[in-house]
Amino acid sequence: MEKYDVAIIGGGSSGLAALKQLSNLGKQAIILEAGSKIGSKNISGGILYSKKPKKGKVTNVEDLYENFLDDSPFERKITKYILHSTSKDKVYSMDLTASHEYQSNFGYSVLMNKLNSWFAKQSVDISQKFGGGIIPRVHVRSITWNNEGRTIIQTDEIDEFEVKAVIAADGVNSEVAEMVGARSKFTSMQLYQGVKVIVRIPEKIINERFGVNSDEGAAHLFAGDITLNHIGGGFLYTNRDTLSIGVVYHFNSLLKNPVEPHTLIDTLLKNSMVSEFIKDEIPIQKEIDKNLPQEEQLRIRFGVAKLIKSWNDTRRNYLSSTHDNTDELKSKLSFIQDQMVTKYGVTFGTDYVESEYSAKLIPDGKRCRMKKPFFKNILFVGDAAGRGIFVGPRIEGLNVGIDDAVRAANAVARAIDKNDFSQRYLGEYYSQLIDESPYTTDMNQIDKDYLKIFLDATKNVPKDSIGKRYGPILKLMSNDTLRGIAVKFVNILGYDKIFSMIESEDTYVKIPIQLAEKHGKIVSSSYSPNILSLAERIEKLNYTEDHVSHIIILKDSEFMKKMIVLCPAKCFTEEGGKTILQHEGCLECGTCSHETEWRHPRGEKGVHYQYG
Amino acid sequence: MTLLNIAVVVKLEPDFSEGSISYNPDGTLNRSQTKSTLGPHSKIAAQAAFYAKVKYGAKISIGTMSGHIANSALQMAMETCDAEVLHLYNDKIFAGADTIGTAEVLKKGIEKMDGKMDIVFSGHRATDGETGQTGPQIAWKLGFTFLGNVISYDINLEKRTVTAKRLLSLRGISDLIQEIEAPLPVFIAIDPSYKYYFSTASLRLTAEKYQREAHERANNYKDRLQTFDSEELGADKTLVGLVGSPTIVYDVQRVPQGKVIRHAEILDGSNPEHIRKTVTAMREALNAMVIK
């Protein structure tokens, strides 16, 4: 049987960080990643933060990858962070840039496929030096301990092998956690469901529309009527030449009031402000004359498709900041455009271009972080350990996972040096490192300084819309001394006691709607986007189908009935009163996992995201 | 460790996947108007060579007879198997060659490759010629044992033998898998169903390493590309090209298209007799689809 020092399960940003840190420390580690290649299963909102907490230290992405700032394919540095309250065509906006910049070096918008491929590249040579590396297309089936206490890993694809320690970085739907019984599945109370689309827009149009230069970007958050009465909201982040647009809702509120995820995202896209953000110039093909001979019809279809493709490519290039032959591209573009119009009767109109639809569950760290994130010699990091910061507009996950992974790698390296992988020496030590993490503190209690910055940002908000319940609280909180006392009091009492107050229909739906209605500006849109149907969205994704389903329905429960509505890919239908599963278009988000036997698809199978 | 010396012979073929094939008025392929790519069977041959590289360690050389447009095919083959050397055999006098004229050039080329070959791989056949003769003819000219229709193989480095499984389709009998052992050197024509599989973590790591190396190499493939004309190959001019090709193309015919006739019959789902009829028809259709 082959032997390795450390197995890292899952090649997302946390798993990759663990590999990098272990390799930096001269230890042998292998990543087992089920996707066809690194990054193909990873989804994020996403903003990657680099933080400088006042108390304690964290390892930031640029600390781990020295050339991150010079070389990595991040999208834009977010320099504007704005919260919009919406009600129909009215929008009330608040600038929260100060709270976004709170204790942070930067926050970059990122696309996980590209970024994780880059992270992987940084670890390749160094991990190889110590006999480690990344093994894609392998899905871990079991982790067991034999009679001598040796840890054996079995997979669906390769021969079993032995390891000394395991770092579980297999995400929010961690199979490792479940198979060894380290924690129970997260409940609907502890999770958010996120659904995202990628919209393509040329770089220079983004710059102009969002008032930024090519290195800067904007983040827009949305609450109010776009939530369709759910706790949570929408977001729009600018990437280099795409936008990440999504909705994130508390799973419990979705179960109470089930609305199809694609309807929720469509509602956001149809909001006049968002419609204006995503619009672009689109070529419209003339319908092909059905009376023409078949071969001629085919020739036209190919001809138009080819021209549109090169029009798109040329226009994208022309409107990017990275070329230096503007005139040449301009004349090429007008030549292609001319051909499209004269040869094939193409016209131009306004619409939007959607490239990728994706979904993911998000663990709410304040509710579900593992208090002891280990089991025997397995250490859990990032989403797998239920760790993420989710406080109003403050949303952090990637940075937490990376920092966790470095802590786990340090603990494992220390255990290797002493050849002691006991719970006490490895697990407890890691748990202690995690307790020392400033991120853990952020998941544990209210940060009064952050609260102050947030309140300062909202101090001009007209109080008449805040409502009876929150008006007096806000007034109280605006006083420094009283706020200090109140925060101390809450932190002693238990942060969890006030969750229902900060995360309520009032805060995410009612107050924003009132604000927008009373004080919002009218934003009108010049067109209405032709939003893709769910079928068209699924059709755009790449899949490697597995004839064996990775999900098995366990019982016909109320929960499963709700999945018919809440599955973002509509994998469930009802037939003769029974819930039926068709796993083929599955996005692997895990929304249905609570009451199903849920596994990640076998190696290489399932969805392959292009953006992530 | 002594490395295995492996050669792969590949062919640039029309890219049928694009659906943009152009024909001359006489029904032959208009090569200048048709996009070309590495032949799909050639790609499988390169994959088979990669297996040996990962599992046993090998130095791989790739050869093809073509014009310079075959550079892209060589590059793709290099990316597939992390080859170290690329050979292009290019000369006007090679034109018009049939399979035996081609085999002569490729044999000469293989002999020019560094060291004595242990295994030469070729595809099952070309998609534009479909004769499947070039491989066996090269083997015959080299004096290597020929193994055709190979679906998997392994090498015993100590005994210097290869054990191969061959897929045999015999008329009237179901498919057979024949396992044979042969001493190196061998010529392997790989079956289209071949797919390599690395069953251990260490092999997977090695495969990943070579795939990355292959990617880098393919980006700079010209550094490793050598071109030979007939003189440099020392080819006998009476054995290559049109002169060395005894085949006479008498006539070229399009593949006749069968007439498609469909009869539609409306059946009632609630009528058991209709259901029975449908099931019987489906059974018959399924039985007919089983290749015997």
pLDDT > 60? residue B285: yes
Residue A437 and residue A385 in contact, taking contact as beta carbons nearer than 8 Å: no
* Interchain proximity A128–B199, CB inside 8 Å: no
Element (H, E) at A115: helix A112-129
Q: Which of A1, A135, A602, A604 to mutate to test the interface with B (most CBs of B within 10 A)?
A: A135
Residues B184 and A321: their CA atoms lie apart, in Å, by 58
Average pLDDT over residues B68-73: 90
Q: What pLDDT sits at residue B21?
A: 66
Do the Cβ atoms of A585 and A543 come closer than 8 Å?
yes
pLDDT for B239 equals: 92
How close is the nearest chain B Cα to the Cα of A282, in Å? Answer: 26
pLDDT class of B226 with cuts at 50, 70, 90: very high
Residue B1: the pLDDT is 53
CA atoms within 13 A on the CB side of A213: 2
Which chain B residues have a beta carbon less than 8 Å from that of A138?
A: 204
Contacts 24+ apart (CB under 8 A), A487-491: A487/A446, A487/A448, A487/A451, A490/A445, A490/A446, A491/A445, A491/A446
Mutate to test the interface with B, among A156, A158, A166 (most CBs of B within 10 A): A158
Is residue B20 over pLDDT 70? no
Q: Does B204 touch chain A if contact means CB atoms closer than 8 Å?
A: yes
Please give the Cα distance from A277 to B145 (Å, whole number).
68
Determine how many CB atoms are found less than 10 A away from the CB of residue B234.
10
Q: Which of B20, B199, B212 has the CB atom closest to A124's CB atom?
A: B212
Task: Choose from B55, B195, B205 for mutation: most chain A CBs within 10 A.
Answer: B205
Q: Do A159 and B199 touch (CB under 8 A)?
A: yes
- What crossing angle do the helices spanning B201-219 and A112-129 adopt, rounded to 10°? 110
Superfamily for the B4-233 domain: HUPs (3.40.50.620)
* Calpha distance A120→A133 (Å, rounded): 9
| Chain centroid offset of residue A449 CA | 27
Q: What is the pLDDT of residue B257?
A: 67
User: pLDDT-based confidence at B15, cuts 50/70/90?
Assistant: confident
Q: What is the pLDDT of residue A322?
A: 85
CA–CA gap between residue A303 and residue A403 (Å, rounded): 51
Q: How far apart are the CA of B20 and the nearest CA of chain A, in angstroms?
A: 10
d(C-alpha A599, C-alpha A305), whole Å: 39
pLDDT tens digit sequence for B165-198: 999 887 766 778 899 999 999 999 999 999 999 9
Q: Please report the pLDDT score of residue A392 as a whole number.
A: 80
- The partner residue sitting opposite B205, judged by closest CB among A135, A157, A159, is A135
pLDDT at residue number B291: 54
Q: What angle do CA B160, B165, B169 make, to 5 degrees?
A: 145
**Model confidence over A491-510: pLDDT tens digits?**
888 888 888 888 889 999 99
Residues near A329 by beta carbon (within 8 Å), at least 6 away in sequence: A314, A317, A318, A323
Separation between Cα atoms, residue B228 and residue B266, nearest integer Å: 66
Select from B198, B201, B209 the Cβ nearest to the Cβ of A161. Answer: B201
Element at A49 (helix H, strand E):
strand A47-51
B201 to chain A: which residues are within 8 Å by CB?
2, 4, 30, 135, 158-159, 161
Chain A residues close to B202, C-beta within 8 Å: 2
Taking the C-alpha atoms of residue B176 and residue B184, their distance in angstroms, rounded to an integer, is: 24
pLDDT in tens, A397-450: 999 999 999 999 999 999 999 999 999 999 999 999 999 999 999 999 999 899
Interface of B with A in 81-100 (CB under 8 A): none
Chain B residues 169-198 with a CB less than 8 Å from chain A: 198
Residue B37, beta-bridge partner list: B13
Residue in B with minimal Cα distance to A159: B200
Task: Return the exposure string of B154-193: e unless at least 16 CB atoms fall within 10 Å of the residue's CB, then b.
Answer: ebeeeeeebebbbbeeeeeeeeeeeeeebebbbbbbbbee
Judging contacts by C-beta atoms under 8 Å, the chain B residues touching residue A2 are: 200-202
Token duo for residue A563: 């999945």
> Hey, which residues does A82 pair with through a beta bridge?
A95, A220
Percent of chain B scored above 70 by pLDDT?
A: 89
Tell me, what's the pLDDT at B18? 58
- For A246, residues 6+ apart whose C-beta sits below 8 A from its C-beta are A45, A194, A195, A196, A197, A234, A235, A265, A268
> What is the distance between the alpha carbons of residues B146 and B122, in angstroms, rounded to a whole number?
11
Does the distance separating the beta carbons of B202 and A2 come in below 8 Å? yes
Best B196, B198, B200 member to test A by mutation, with max A CBs in 10 Å, is B200
Q: Residues of chain A whose pLDDT is less than 70?
A: none
One DSSP character per residue, A270-318 reads: HSHHHHHHH-EEEEEPPPP-TTS-HHHHHHHHHHHHHHHHHHHHHHHHH
Boundaries of every domain in chain B: 4-233
Residue B201: which of A128, A135, A302 has the nearest Cβ?
Answer: A135
Taking alpha carbons only, the member of A226, A284, A181 closest to residue A90 is A226
Is A158–B209 a contact, with Cβ atoms under 8 angstroms apart? no
**CB-CB under 8 Å, A158 with B208:** no
The Cα A553–Cα A580 span in angstroms is: 8
Residue B229 — pLDDT band, cuts 50, 70, 90? Answer: very high
Give the Å distances, CA to CA, from B292 to A28, A76, B119, B165.
Answer: 52, 61, 32, 20
**How high is the pLDDT of residue A457?**
86
The predicted pLDDT at position B2 comes to 67
Distance CA A586, CA A565 (A): 14
Is the confidence at residue B292, as pLDDT, over 50? Answer: no
Cα A38 → chain centroid:
16
Q: Are strands A389-391 and A394-396 parallel, antiparallel or unpaired?
A: antiparallel
Q: Is the pLDDT of residue B281 over 90?
A: no
- What is the reported pLDDT for B160? 95
Q: What is the pLDDT of residues B196-223, one digit of tens each?
A: 999 999 999 999 999 999 999 999 999 9
Our CA-based measurement puts residue B1 at a distance from the nearest CA of chain A, in whole angstroms, of: 19
Categorize the per-residue pLDDT at B77 as very low, low, confident or very high, splitting at 50, 70 and 90. Answer: very high
Chains A–B, number of C-beta pairs less than 8 Å apart = 32
**A365 vs B115, higher pLDDT:** A365
Per-residue DSSP letter, A593 = G
Q: So what's the pLDDT on residue B158?
A: 94
Supply the ipTM of this predicted assembly.
0.89
Compare CB distances from B208 to A133, A157, A161 and report the shortest one's residue.
Answer: A133
Specify the 3-state DSSP secondary structure of B53.
helix
C-alpha dist (Å) from residue A230 to A265, A346, A503? 12, 42, 10
